[in-house]
């Protein structure tokens, strides 16, 4: 159930029996010349949809909250179309949303994050709200990190706008993927260097992996295993 599609009496009725809300959080940012700017929202939103579907099959309900589209994305801000929200602002904004869901009575709020730069602000917001609301737990899921082993059993590499993300987008919205432009390489630096234009060096064209081997089948396999595992965690299974 998507919260934005409910009336308030329907919402009130549902929250009497549903204790978990899933909040997808993403970013609007450059993802190479081949993926859309909204990739980091499309992916967690689709995972959330599948998690809900699987849980329904297991006899459990969750609510899906409208996603937070804009995130914190310092490194990729060197490319057009990247809309960077400062980390303090993102943290405060998400904290207010978490507070509201906690005050509504939800016992578990799952932050389904689609973007690496959001990790620290989301963690800090979650800690503050968890501290204020005893009995409420907040989960922070970074799907491409938490299920990396599964993803790397499907893809030979992963990275920003890389094989995994491109595969996922081919499975979700193939019409938005320009495979003829899908190229890149993995770049790393030994220590973390923070510099205004570091993105041009570490993410040439907004890519940090070779996305050319991406396929819709791999994307489907990733979405399937990730949503299955998250659904099982929410259902309390291992």
Which residues here bind Zn ion, judged by CB under 5 A? Answer: 39-40
What does the alpha-carbon distance between residue 157 and residue 42 come to, in Å, rounded to a whole number? 20
User: Is the dihedral angle over the CA atoms 56, 64, 237, 117 positive or is it negative?
Assistant: positive
Report yes or no: 61 and 235 within 8 Å, Cβ to Cβ: no
Q: Which is nearer to Zn ion, 19 or 181 (CB)?
A: 181
CB of 40 or CB of 46, closer to Zn ion: 40
Q: For the CB of residue 168, give the shortest distance to Zn ion in the complex, in Å.
A: 9
Please identify, using beta-carbon distances, which residue of 20 and 158 lies nearer to Zn ion: 158
The nearer residue to Zn ion, 18 or 76, going by C-beta atoms, is 76
Q: How far is the CB of 163 from Zn ion (least distance, A)?
A: 12
Q: What's the CA gap between 26 and 117, in Å, rounded? A: 9
Q: How far is the CB of 120 from Zn ion (least distance, A)?
A: 17
The least CB distance from residue 185 to Zn ion, in Å, is 17
**Where would I find the H helices in 31-132?**
39-57, 87-104, 119-132
DSSP string spanning 179-211?
GGG--------SS----TTHHHHHSGGG--S-G
Least distance between Zn ion and beta carbon 31 (Å): 5
Q: Which residue is nearest to Zn ion (CB)?
A: 40
Other Cβ atoms closer than 10 A to 88: 11
Query: Judged by CB, which is closer to Zn ion: 40, or 209?
Result: 40
Distance CA 123, CA 117 (A): 11
Distance separating alpha carbons of residues 87 and 74, to the nearest angstrom = 9
């Amino acid at each position: 159930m998507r919260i934005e599609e409910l009336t308030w009496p329907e919402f009130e009725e549902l929250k009497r029996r549903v204790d978990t809300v899933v909040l997808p959080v993403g970013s609007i940012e450059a993802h190479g010349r081949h993926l859309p700017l909204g990739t980091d929202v499309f992916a967690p939103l689709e995972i959330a949809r599948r998690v809900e579907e699987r849980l329904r099959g297991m006899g459990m309900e969750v609510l899906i909250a409208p996603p937070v589209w804009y995130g914190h994305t310092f490194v990729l801000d060197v490319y057009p179309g990247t809309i960077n929200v400062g980390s303090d602002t993102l943290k405060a904004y998400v904290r207010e949303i978490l507070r509201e869901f906690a005050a509504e009575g939800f016992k578990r709020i799952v932050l389904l994050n689609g973007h690496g730069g959001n990790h620290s602000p989301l963690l800090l917001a979650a800690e503050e709200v968890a501290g204020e609301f005893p009995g409420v737990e907040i989960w922070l899921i970074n799907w491409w990190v938490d299920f990396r082993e599964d993803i790397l059993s499907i893809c030979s590499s992963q990275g920003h706008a890389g094989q995994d993300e491109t595969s996922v987008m081919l499975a979700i919205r193939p019409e938005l993927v320009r495979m003829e432009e899908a190229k890149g390489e993995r770049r790393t630096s030994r220590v973390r260097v923070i510099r205004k234009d570091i993105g041009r060096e570490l993410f040439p064209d907004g890519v940090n992996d070779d996305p050319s081997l991406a396929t819709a089948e791999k994307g489907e396999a990733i979405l399937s295993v990730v949503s299955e595992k998250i659904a099982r965690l929410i259902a309390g299974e291992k």
